[in-house]
C-alpha cells in the first residue's frame, strides 16, 4: 500500500472581538471538517468568561468545543500563520482595511501578520444581547450556520488543499536550493528559512520562524553591521552584497557571502527583506590551503614566518578578545590589525586607527573619548571620539607604549568598565568595540622600568601577535618587490617591470632596519631614477649599493639580466631562461648569495631563487659550492 505523503500542519488563527465564542465555534468546525493535519488557535480580547450557550449551540450539531479555549490576544504565539480569519458581526468592517476585528494585531511592531498569510474577514449574522437568552441563542445558531458554510467552502471546494499544496511546493523549491534563503518582515521577524540556511548557520528552522533575527543572531543579526534594519526602514534602499564572519552555536567558524534585497510594500512603505546566503567557508579554506596566500589583506609573503602570522590572524579573528601586535617599526602592524578586523564578524563595522604617540595627552583624550561643547577653549561644538566612531567595529591603538602613566590609568578604567564620558561631559557612554593595540617596544621591559602599567598590559595583551622583521624573512623579498613595484606603476605610470639580479643581491645583503617601510622607500627612490623597464644597482639608494659591508655584484659578474616579473613570480630571481624560455639556468654567484641569506638551508635558498628544490640540487651537484 502506497504511503500517503506527509504534510506540515496547516496553521490557522481565528480572531474575534467578542468573548471568544465565535473563534471557539470556528475552530471546532475547522477541526471537524479538515481532512489533513491542522494547527488552530482562536483569540479574543476578553476570553475569561466564555458564553456557555455557544457550547450548547455546537452540541446541537454534534461538535464539542468544551475543550477549546480562546487565548487572550497579547499571549497569541507570533509564529508564521498560514491563514488568519477575522470574525465580525459588522458587515462594513469587511470592506474597511482597519475595521476588521483585532486590527491592531494585524500590523505594527506586534503584528501577527508574519510571513504574508492568507487573510480572510468573515461577516456573521447580527449583534446580540448576551443577557437576552432567546435572542442570544438565535444569533449564535445563525453564526454557527454561517461559520459552517464558510469553512465547508474553504475545505470542500479545495481552497485549503490548493493553498497548502502551493505552500508545500514553494517550501520544497526553497529547500532544493544550494544557497540559504531567509526572509523577514519590517519588524525583522523571520518567516522563510530554508534547509541551506539551516546548514550554513547551524540553527534549526523551527527555532527561527516568527522570531526577531537580531534575537536569533546577536549582536546585529546574521548581516552583522551591514543590517539595513538596525533602526527602522532600510536606508538607502537597494541590494546589498557583503561578507560576514559567522560563528554557529556549535562554535564552527563560517565565511558567508550575503546578498540582501528589500521588497517594497504595495503602499510604497518599507516592506520585507529577502536575503540569499552563500557559504564560502570551504572555498575560502581551499584557496588558502592550496595557495598559501601570497597576499593576505595587503600583507605579502610566502615564508614560514609570515604564513604562521596569517594563520594566527585567522584564528584570532573569531573572538572578541583584545590583541596586542608587536614588531619592529615598519613591519606592517596596522595592516595586521586591519586584517584581523576584515576576517572578523565586525568586518561590516568601522576600523578606526589612532596613533597614541603622535598626539599630546590633552588632545589624545578628546580624540579618543570626544568632548562636549565648551569643554575647553576652541570646543565650539560637541564631537564624538574614536571610541564612539568605532562602535560595532574595531579600535586600533598604535604606539600604545607612548601613553603617559596618567593616561594609562584613564584607558585602563575605560577598558575595565566598558564605558566613558566625553571630556567635559557627565553622561556615561557605552559602546561595543574590539581593541587592537600595537607597539614596537618590549612592554615587559617597560613594565620592569615602571614606564607601563602591568594591569593595562594584561588588559591589552590577551592574544599576542608578533610580526617578523624583514631580515628574518628575506625569502619574501621577491614577492614584496613585485607588490611595491606594481603600486609604483599605478602611481607613476612608469612601465617598470622588475629588478635585475644584481639588485636582488643588494637587497638580500641589506639588514633592513626599517623593514618593509624601508623597502618601499628604496623602490620608490629607485623608480624615480630609473628610465627603463628594469631597476639596476645604480638606481638604488647609496646605502643599498654596498650593503652590510659586502660589495654588491659588479657588472662584470652580472649575468644576462632577467626582470623580476610583476604579474607572476617568474622563473626565479636567481635564474634566467634559455632555449626558448622554457629551461631555467641558475647562476653560481646568485646561488651563493641565496645560500648565504638562507644560512645554508637549501629549501629556503630554492624559494629565494624561485626554483624547485630538485633544480637547485641538480645545479649544486654539477657546480659544487664550498
181-194 confidence digits (pLDDT tens): 888 877 777 878 88
Measure the CA–CA gap between 310 and 316, rounded to whole angstroms: 10
Q: Which has more pLDDT, 611 or 292?
A: 611
- Positive or negative, the Cα torsion across 520, 523, 528, 534? negative
- Give per-residue pLDDT as tens, 330-377: 999 999 999 999 888 888 789 999 999 888 888 898 899 998 887 777
On average, the pLDDT of the chain sits at 79
- Give per-residue pLDDT as tens, 12-48: 888 888 888 889 999 999 888 876 677 788 888 877 7
Fold of the 471-622 domain: Helicase, Ruva Protein; domain 3 (1.10.8)
What pLDDT is stored for residue 582 in this prediction? 35
Q: Which has more pLDDT, 576 or 180?
A: 180
Measure the CA–CA gap between 468 and 303, rounded to whole angstroms: 10
Strands 118-123 and 83-88: parallel
Other Cβ atoms less than 10 A from the Cβ of 623: the count is 11
The CATH class of 177-283 is alpha beta
Work out the pLDDT band at 515, boundaries 50, 70, 90. very high
pLDDT, mean of residues 123-135: 60
What pLDDT is stored for residue 293 in this prediction? 60
* High-pLDDT (> 70) share of the chain, %: 79
Work out the pLDDT band at 573, boundaries 50, 70, 90. very low
Measure the CA–CA gap between 329 and 374, rounded to whole angstroms: 38
Measure the CA–CA gap between 323 and 394, rounded to whole angstroms: 11
> Does residue 575 surpass a pLDDT of 50?
no
Work out the pLDDT band at 394, boundaries 50, 70, 90. very high
Work out the pLDDT band at 96, boundaries 50, 70, 90. very low
Q: Which CATH superfamily is domain 10-164 in?
A: Response regulator (3.40.50.2300)
Residues 103 and 139: beta-carbon distance below 8 Å? no
Which stretch of 286-295, 299-308, 462-471, 586-595 has the lowest confidence by average pLDDT? 286-295
pLDDT, mean of residues 458-477: 94
Measure the CA–CA gap between 258 and 270, rounded to whole angstroms: 20
What 8-state DSSP symbol labels residue 220?
T
Cis amide leading into 236 (omega within 30): yes
* First-to-last C-alpha distance (Å) of the chain: 86
Residues 456 and 401: beta-carbon distance below 8 Å? no
* High-pLDDT (> 90) share of the chain, %: 29
Work out the pLDDT band at 4, boundaries 50, 70, 90. very low
- Give per-residue pLDDT as tens, 397-432: 999 999 999 999 999 999 998 889 998 888 899 999
The architecture that CATH gives domain 294-468 is 3-Layer(aba) Sandwich (3.40)
Question: Does this chain's domain 177-283 share its CATH topology with 471-622?
Answer: no
Measure the CA–CA gap between 313 and 295, rounded to whole angstroms: 13
Residues 620 and 586: beta-carbon distance below 8 Å? no
Map out the domains of the chain as residue ranges.
10-164, 177-283, 294-468, 471-622
What pLDDT is stored for residue 56 in this prediction? 92
What pLDDT is stored for residue 583 in this prediction? 41
> Does residue 469 surpass a pLDDT of 80?
yes
What pLDDT is stored for residue 397 in this prediction? 96
DSSP for 471-523 reads GG-GGGHHHHHHHHHHHHHHHH-----EE-HHHHHHHHH---TTHHHHHHHHH
pTM above 0.75, yes or no: no
What pLDDT is stored for residue 234 in this prediction? 54
Residue 553: which of 625, 505, 611 has the closest Cα? Answer: 505
Give how far Cα 426 sits from Cα of 335, 381, 415, 419, Å: 36, 16, 18, 12
What pLDDT is stored for residue 493 in this prediction? 87
What pLDDT is stored for residue 549 in this prediction? 35
pLDDT, mean of residues 501-519: 92
> Does residue 481 surpass a pLDDT of 50?
yes
What pLDDT is stored for residue 127 in this prediction? 55
Amino acid at each position: 500500500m502506497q504511503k500517503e505523503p506527509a504534510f506540515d500542519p496547516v496553521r490557522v488563527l481565528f480572531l474575534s472581538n467578542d468573548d471568544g465564542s465565535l473563534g471557539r465555534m470556528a475552530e471546532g468546525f475547522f477541526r471537524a471538517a479538515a481532512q489533513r493535519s491542522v494547527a488552530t488557535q482562536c483569540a479574543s480580547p476578553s476570553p475569561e468568561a466564555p458564553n456557555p450557550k455557544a457550547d450548547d449551540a455546537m452540541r446541537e450539531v454534534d461538535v464539542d468545543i468544551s475543550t477549546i479555549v480562546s487565548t487572550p490576544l497579547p499571549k497569541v504565539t507570533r509564529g508564521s500563520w498560514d491563514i488568519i480569519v477575522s470574525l465580525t458581526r459588522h458587515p462594513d468592517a469587511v470592506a474597511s482595511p482597519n475595521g476588521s476585528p483585532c486590527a491592531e494585531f494585524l500590523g505594527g511592531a506586534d503584528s501577527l501578520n508574519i510571513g504574508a498569510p492568507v487573510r480572510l474577514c468573515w461577516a456573521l449574522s447580527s449583534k446580540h444581547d448576551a443577557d437576552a437568552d432567546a435572542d442570544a441563542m438565535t444569533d449564535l445558531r445563525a453564526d454557527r450556520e454561517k461559520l459552517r458554510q464558510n469553512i465547508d467552502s474553504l475545505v470542500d471546494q479545495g481552497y485549503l488543499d490548493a493553498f497548502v499544496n502551493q505552500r508545500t511546493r514553494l517550501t520544497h523549491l526553497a529547500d532544493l536550493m544550494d544557497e540559504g534563503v531567509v526572509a523577514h518582515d519590517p519588524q525583522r521577524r523571520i518567516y522563510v528559512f530554508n534547509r541551506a540556511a539551516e546548514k550554513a548557520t547551524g540553527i534549526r528552522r523551527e527555532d527561527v520562524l516568527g522570531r526577531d533575527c537580531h534575537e536569533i543572531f546577536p549582536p546585529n543579526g546574521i548581516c552583522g553591521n551591514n543590517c539595513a534594519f538596525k533602526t527602522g526602514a532600510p536606508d538607502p534602499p537597494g541590494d546589498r552584497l557583503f561578507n560576514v564572519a559567522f560563528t554557529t552555536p556549535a562554535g564552527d567558524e563560517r565565511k558567508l557571502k550575503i546578498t540582501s534585497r528589500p521588497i517594497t510594500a504595495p503602499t510604497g512603505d518599507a516592506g520585507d527583506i529577502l536575503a540569499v546566503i552563500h557559504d564560502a567557508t570551504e572555498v575560502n579554506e581551499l584557496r588558502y590551503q592550496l595557495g598559501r596566500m601570497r597576499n593576505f589583506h595587503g600583507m605579502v609573503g610566502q615564508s614560514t614566518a609570515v604564513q604562521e602570522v596569517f594563520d594566527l590572524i585567522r584564528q584570532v579573528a573569531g573572538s572578541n578578545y583584545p590583541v596586542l601586535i608587536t614588531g619592529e617599526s615598519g613591519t606592517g602592524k596596522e595592516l595586521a590589525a586591519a586584517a584581523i578586523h576584515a576576517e572578523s564578524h565586525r568586518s561590516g563595522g568601522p576600523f578606526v586607527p589612532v596613533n597614541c604617540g603622535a598626539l599630546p595627552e590633552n588632545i589624545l583624550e578628546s580624540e579618543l573619548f570626544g568632548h562636549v561643547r565648551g569643554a575647553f577653549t576652541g570646543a565650539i561644538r560637541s564631537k564624538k571620539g574614536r571610541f564612539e566612531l568605532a562602535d560595532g567595529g574595531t579600535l586600533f591603538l598604535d604606539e600604545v607604549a607612548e601613553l603617559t602613566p596618567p593616561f594609562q590609568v584613564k584607558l585602563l578604567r575605560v577598558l575595565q568598565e566598558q564605558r566613558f564620558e566625553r571630556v567635559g561631559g557627565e553622561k556615561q557612554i557605552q559602546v561595543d568595540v574590539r581593541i587592537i593595540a600595537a607597539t614596537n617596544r618590549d612592554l615587559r621591559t617597560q613594565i620592569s622600568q615602571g614606564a607601563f602599567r602591568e594591569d593595562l598590559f594584561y588588559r591589552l595583551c590577551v592574544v599576542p601577535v608578533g610580526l617578523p622583521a624583514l631580515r628574518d624573512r628575506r625569502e619574501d623579498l621577491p614577492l614584496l618587490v613585485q607588490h611595491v613595484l606594481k603600486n609604483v606603476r599605478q602611481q607613476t605610470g612608469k612601465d617598470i617591470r622588475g629588478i635585475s639580479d644584481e639588485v636582488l643581491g643588494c637587497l638580500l645583503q641589506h639588514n633592513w632596519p626599517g623593514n618593509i617601510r624601508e623597502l618601499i622607500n628604496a623602490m620608490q627612490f629607485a623608480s624615480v631614477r630609473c628610465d627603463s623597464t628594469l631597476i639596476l644597482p645604480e638606481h638604488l639608494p647609496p646605502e643599498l649599493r654596498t650593503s652590510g659591508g659586502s660589495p654588491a655584484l659588479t657588472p662584470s659578474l652580472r649575468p644576462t639580466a632577467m626582470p623580476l616579473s610583476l604579474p607572476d613570480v617568474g622563473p626565479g630571481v636567481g635564474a634566467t631562461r634559455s632555449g626558448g624560455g622554457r629551461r631555467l639556468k641558475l647562476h653560481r654567484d646568485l646561488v651563493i648569495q641565496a645560500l648565504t641569506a638562507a644560512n645554508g638551508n637549501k629549501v629556503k635558498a630554492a624559494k629565494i631563487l624561485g626554483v624547485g628544490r630538485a633544480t637547485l640540487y641538480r645545479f649544486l651537484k654539477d657546480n659544487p659550492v664550498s
